[in-house]
Structure formats: C-alpha cells, structure tokens
Amino acid sequence: MKKHSVLVLKILTGFTVLAVLICAACTGVGYIQYRDYIQKQYNDIAYQIAETFRGFFEEGELEGYIHMAARYKAGEIPREALEQEMGTQRYQALRAQMDRLREHMGANDIYFAQLDVEELYGYYQKQLEGAGDTEGGTEGWNPMTYIMDSYVEPYRFGDMGGLNPLYIKEAVALAKSGQRSDSYFISKSVYGYNPSAILPIVLDGATAAVIGVEIPMATLQKALGDYVSHSVLSMLIVTVLCLAVYVHILYRTIIAPINLIAAEASSFVKEENQVSTELEKIRTGDEIQTLSETLLKMELDINHYIDNLTKVTAEKERISAELNVATQIQADMLPRIFPAFPGRQEFDIFATMNPAKEVGGDFYDFFLTDADHLAFVVADVSGKGIPAALFMVISKTLIKNQAQMGDSPARILQAVNDQLCENNEAEMFVTVWLGILEISTGKLTAVNAGHEYPIMKKDGGVFEMLDDPHGFVMGVMPGMRYQEYEIQMHRGDSIYVYSDGAPDAVNLQEEQFERERLLASLNRIPGAAPIELLGQVKGDIDAFVGEAAQFDDITMLCMRYCGN
C-alpha cells in the first residue's frame, strides 16, 4: 500500500471513530435527559389524576367513607353495611367518575383505600428487626382497606390489601409526613410493571387513607425505545452522509493532488529532472483558476446572502414593531393604575406581570363585582409567546364576565372551563387561582385550578404557605368540578398569589429561586405595603437570577385587608 493511501486510511478511520463516539455520547446524554423528563411528567400526571379524583368528593364525603372503612376493619359494623353503601346511587356515581377518569387519562388503575397506620408501622418495625419479608410477600399484612377501585378485577368496599414491602420505608415516610413521595412505587399487575403515585389523605393531623394511581410503564418504555431507535437511525444517516461528503472532498483536495505530485516526482527522477508540465499546471494554472472561480462564486453567494439578509431584517423589524404593539395592548388589558380603588379604604391591592417574551401567557385581574365584593385572580397559560397571549385574552375575558354575574368562585371556573374546552384544538390549558372577598366581613372565598399555593400572613405574623385544595387545570376536560374554600381575613391580614415563574426562576448555576427563598423574601419586611412587598420580592428574584435570561413569565399579586 502506498504511503499516501495509508495516510488517507488513517484520516478516514479517525473521523469514523470520532463520529461514532459523538453519536454515542449524544444518544446517551439525550436518553438520560429524556428519560428523566418523561419519568417526571408521568409522576406529575399520576398525582394530578389523584388530585382530580379527590376533587370528585363533596365536603365531608371523603371523611365519611374513610371512617366507615376503619370501623369495618375494627369490627364495629358488619359487611352488609358496606354492601348497602356500595348499592347507593352516590357510590355508583363516584365509581363511574373514577372509571371515566382512568380511561380518559390512560391509567391502569385508580384506587381509594383506608390506611391502617399502626399496622404499617408495626410491619416496618419487624423489617428493622430482621423479621419482615423483604422479597415482596404480603401474606398476613393488610394495612389497606379498599373503598373504591377501578382495576380490571377491582377490589370491593371492605376488601383488604397491602403495599409492596420493598417500598415500606417510603410508605412509612409518606404516612408520617402526610406528604406525597417524590419517588415511584413500582407494582406488577396484568398490565406489567406500573409506576404508582400514592397521595396521602390527612384527617385530624394524621394520614388516614391514600389515593393511588398506576400508570403503565410499558408506555414509558416504548417512548424511550422509540427515542433511542430514532436517535440512532438519524445520527447514522447523518454520519454516513457526512462521511460520503468528506471522502469526496478528501479525494478532490488531497488524494488526487498527492497522486499527481507523486507520479510527477517519479517521472522527474526517471526523465532526469525534466520539468513536468502537469506540475506547472498545479502551481500556476488549474489551481489558481479553480480558486478564482470559487472566489467568484463566494462573492456571488455573499451578495445573494446580503440581499436575503436585507429582506429578512426588514421583515424582522416589521414583526418587532407589531410585537411592540401587541405588548402594549396586552399590558393595557391588565389593571395598571394604582392605587386601584382610591375611594376604598377597606383593602389595599397591588399586582405586577413581567413577561419572559414580548407577550406572555400569565395574567392577573381584580375588580368589584358589586359594592361589597372584590374579585381578584392570577393565572398562568401553558406555553409562551403569541399563542399563550391569545389564550390568556380569552381566559381573562371569560373569567371576568362570569364573575360579574355574581357566581361563586367554583361555579365561575366550572363555567369558564366548559367554554375553554370548546374548539380547543391547540390543546392549551390554564392554571387559575380565583378569590372573591366580601369586603364588609373579610370572608374570602377562593378556588384553585392547578395553580401555585397561595401565601398568607396574619396581622403581626409572618407569611406562610397555604396548602389549599387543588383542582384540575382548565381547558382540558369539560364537566370538571372545583372545590372552593373560605378564609376569614381580619384587619392587617395579607394574601400573596403568584405564578410559577417566581419560585422557578433560575440563575446561571441552574439553581431555582424556590419557595423557601420566596417566603424568606416576603418575611424580610412582612409588614410592608403590597406595592413595597412586590417590589422587594422582584428585586430579590433579579438579584438571585443575575445575568441569566428570564425563561418564564413572573406574575405576583398581593392584597391586604384593612378592615371595614
């Protein structure tokens, strides 16, 4: 093999190895990120399903079923009482809603069961002492008494069941804290392996029951498999094309000139230093002509590029001007004159909205529905830019129009949700927190549709997170019911409502601002007026983010009740 051929082979081999390594690295990194993202999405969806099912129950109904199951397990009531309850119209209606929710959201199972915490702790203690079964057996250990189940072979009201002992530690932590676990509970059924989200139900300060949701892992595994196969195939095609182009360029620019130079050098030796006309052509004729033709083509391409760039720049300026108008229109839709109600001394309200792009999907609003009722709302539309802004305009208009009809917060969101679901082919949704304050009494009636938890401060106290009941987001599923709640506000009490852009703000180190820093910022001067308080929080967020770009809209609203 000639030396120049060996050189070409080394170059091709090195390029091929490098391309394979890059493809493998990109596929591996992409797989890990995509897997983590998909797992988080499935976990969040499962808990949203559980929260949605919890919202089906009317006030006191959830507690009644839990107490009935506990009494049955304790032997205080007979099985016939459960059978009679299962035959009631209300129980059957809840089971039908559970089945529809499971089918609509693609879940394998949704179940609602009373949890015997003492039995759970006892089994955990046996495991710590080395007497418990750690291989998945549950014989003789039934801490759960089923109330409702939508499995293919569902448990009946009063049937006993257990949790997988492999996850006993997480189950105990869940029961003690009353908070959901961030990890998966993996179970096996006729559908295969299923990640289970378990939502604790807390009564009287203790975990009394759980709502579980099982999502098919097969769907997750198929998504990951499709991602890997598509990524590998795409990268393989790109690599082959790049190799083909590279070999072609290599031959024209390196192999052919080297072959010619080598041949002419050999001829020069054989012909006794006879000057090669072919070599002279390389040095003075053909290469210069090729270079000049390439340069001319480059100049023509550059001129063509400049013409296109001029047109694109003009179009961009036109779009920018229109976006500026859209930004101003959106800003004008939000209340911006403060003090908002100079003639009303019973309350003080202030709000801000800082979009991540020219136009945003967040919005706030506040208005008097009559002389004694103040409505205020903070909402966050999925996505960003023009589509989110259009959906924001529709949502804001519908909520305000419905609220001015005098309905309760829950009825307002139910009506608006049905209207948003009509012809929503873009499949957008919006999270909403809506409150209506009875000014004369300080009674605040509120409802939360998948939005951030509000933050409350009593007079003389500090701001604390309010764990209010969450409903499903709006615009996805018609016929949703939302649970409203009441807060009695007194003179000096304040409430702070915000979008997720505040706690999710990220700095250059990819650290989030988080709720803890948000609470600390609010509590630096908890007695400040709403306008000063929001300015203080926004300043702390900006200082934390630094030079990092804002990736989400930041909306905040604060209302202080001054008394009648």
How far are the Cα atoms of 165, 227, 239 from residue 23, in angstroms, in the given order?
41, 14, 8
Cα separation, 255 vs 136, in Å, equals: 66
Q: Could you say which DSSP state residue 255 is in?
A: I
pLDDT value of position 302: 45
Locus of tokens 């129980």: 91
Of the chain, the end-to-end C-alpha distance in Å amounts to: 99
pLDDT value of position 299: 39
**Contact present, 451 and 433 (Cβ < 8 Å):** yes
Locus of tokens 């926004």: 538
Cα separation, 363 vs 379, in Å, equals: 5
Cα separation, 1 vs 538, in Å, equals: 71
C-beta neighbour count of 352 within 10 angstroms: 18
pLDDT value of position 296: 37
**Contact present, 554 and 354 (Cβ < 8 Å):** yes
Cα separation, 150 vs 240, in Å, equals: 51
C-alpha neighbours within 13 Å on the C-beta side of residue 347: 31
Which residues lie closer than 8 Å to 543 by C-beta, 6 or more apart? none
What's the sign of the alpha-carbon dihedral 53, 58, 60, 65? Answer: negative
Bridge pairing between strands 430-438 and 463-465:
unpaired
Q: Locate 60 and state its tokens.
A: 């006191």
Closest CA to 189 of 116, 111, 134, 97: 111
For the sheet containing 185-189, what is the strand order?
160-161, 144-149, 109-115, 206-214, 192-203, 185-189
What's the sign of the alpha-carbon dihedral 262, 268, 271, 275? Answer: positive
Locus of tokens 């499995």: 151
Q: Which helix (H) or strand (E) holds 550?
A: none
Bridge pairing between strands 430-438 and 373-381:
antiparallel
Rg from Cα positions in the chain: 33
pLDDT value of position 221: 66
**Contact present, 345 and 529 (Cβ < 8 Å):** no
Cα separation, 519 vs 554, in Å, equals: 16
431 forms bridges with which residues in the sheet? 380
Cα separation, 496 vs 396, in Å, equals: 19
Q: Locate 223 and state its tokens.
A: 């998504």
Q: Is 71 helix (H, G, I), strand (E, B) or coil?
A: helix
Q: Which helix (H) or strand (E) holds 145?
A: strand 144-149
C-beta neighbour count of 422 within 10 angstroms: 8
Closest CA to 499 of 451, 541, 436: 451
354 forms bridges with which residues in the sheet? 554
**Contact present, 541 and 355 (Cβ < 8 Å):** no
Which residues lie closer than 8 Å to 255 by C-beta, 6 or more apart? 4, 8
Q: Locate 201 and state its tokens.
A: 């139900």
What's the sign of the alpha-carbon dihedral 106, 109, 113, 115? Answer: negative
Per-residue pLDDT of the chain (564 residues; tens, 9 = 90+): 454 556 566 666 776 777 777 777 777 777 677 666 776 777 788 888 888 999 999 988 999 999 999 999 999 999 999 999 999 999 999 999 999 998 888 888 899 999 988 888 888 888 787 755 544 444 567 888 999 998 777 889 989 987 777 778 888 888 888 888 776 666 665 556 667 788 899 998 889 899 988 887 666 666 667 767 777 777 778 777 877 777 676 666 566 666 666 565 565 456 555 545 555 445 434 343 443 444 334 434 544 666 676 677 667 666 555 555 556 666 678 898 888 898 889 999 999 998 887 677 889 999 999 999 999 999 999 877 788 888 888 999 999 999 999 999 999 999 999 999 998 888 899 999 999 999 999 999 999 999 999 999 998 899 999 999 999 999 999 999 999 999 999 999 999 999 999 999 999 999 999 999 999 999 998 889 999 999 999 999 999 999 998 888 899 999 999 987
**Contact present, 379 and 451 (Cβ < 8 Å):** yes
